[in-house]
Amino acid sequence: MAIILDGKALRDKILQDLKVKIDSYEVKPSLAVILVGDNPASQIYVNNKHKIAQKIGIKSEIINYPTDITEETLLNKIEELNNNSAIDAILVQLPLPEHISKDKVINSILPDKDVDGFTPYNFGKLFSGEIPTVYPCTPKGILLMLDEYNIELDGRHAVVVGRSSIVGRPLSQMLLNRNATVTVCHSHTKNLSQITKTADILISAVGKNIIKGEMLKSDCVVVDVGIFKDENGKTRGDADFETSSKIASYISPVPGGVGPMTIASLMLNTVELFKKHRLN
């Protein structure tokens, strides 16, 4: 039976360490989160981030806008936050309403306040092999979790299922930077199971229950990033836990695996940006 990659326990450990550091600072790190519209999932995520930030001593501000806000108003607000020296980190909660360009909004955030690591500057740094201002939160959390369990990446074959700009693309580059051999699969990939069977480390970020035990190599590591509700309202991940956990050596659960690590990485990134602004 696979060992569980406990993201919740590691998150708590990271946050505890961060709180001690933040308590020692005279000035506290600050995070501004912009939430547009009334998407229930986004509201839950934002409130969760806000509570955790406050709990460890980060000044957190939620800026709410209605769905029909103009793109110009949103861009003006980001410019105001960019110019505010009291704000260390800016996060715009995605998705945005259709009439607002996600790219324009992300591109307008100053790279040294880009807590998600999504601006073209930070993405470009990452993909050129340089060190970005901060690494994207979910991929960073995944690598922190693998490191915590002493899972070797150097020379291993990592298969990443999903090519989103939030997880798949940056994660594949971060794995390459750690000397893994990386294969990226997506919706047009033929014979997915033949490829997943060659993975020493399989990371799936699709949001559909697509990974079964028979698709895995014996003793591989499974990191499940996908999260959705099935027809019975149960929270599920990309991997079928019952069959996959019998084949894998390590597996992350859903919930309780990657999700908590994303939050931990957001707090780590906020403190990193704060240190670059104020402590250098």
Which residue among the candidates 6, 114, 116, 238 is catalytic per the annotation?
116
Task: Tell me the pLDDT tens digit for each residue of 33-87.
Answer: 999 999 888 999 999 999 999 999 999 999 999 999 999 999 999 999 999 999 9
Of 6, 77, 88, 93, catalytic: 93
Cβ atoms of 245 and 211 closer than 8 Å: no
Instruction: Reply yes or no on whether 116 is catalytic.
Output: yes
Q: Is 102 exposed, middle or buried (0-12, 13-18, 19+ CB in 10 A)?
A: middle
Q: Is the torsion defined by CA of 32, 33, 37, 40 positive or negative?
A: negative
Residue in the structure block whose two tokens are 């793109």: 71
Q: 131-179 pLDDT, tens per residue?
A: 999 999 999 999 999 999 999 999 999 999 999 999 999 999 999 999 9
Q: Could you say which of 49, 77, 113, 140 is catalytic?
A: 49
- Residue 221 parent element (H or E): strand 221-224
- Side-chain-side CA neighbours of 129 within 13 Å: the count stands at 4
Alpha-carbon radius of gyration of the chain: 19
Q: CA torsion, points 44, 94, 263, 137, in degrees to nearest 10?
A: 170
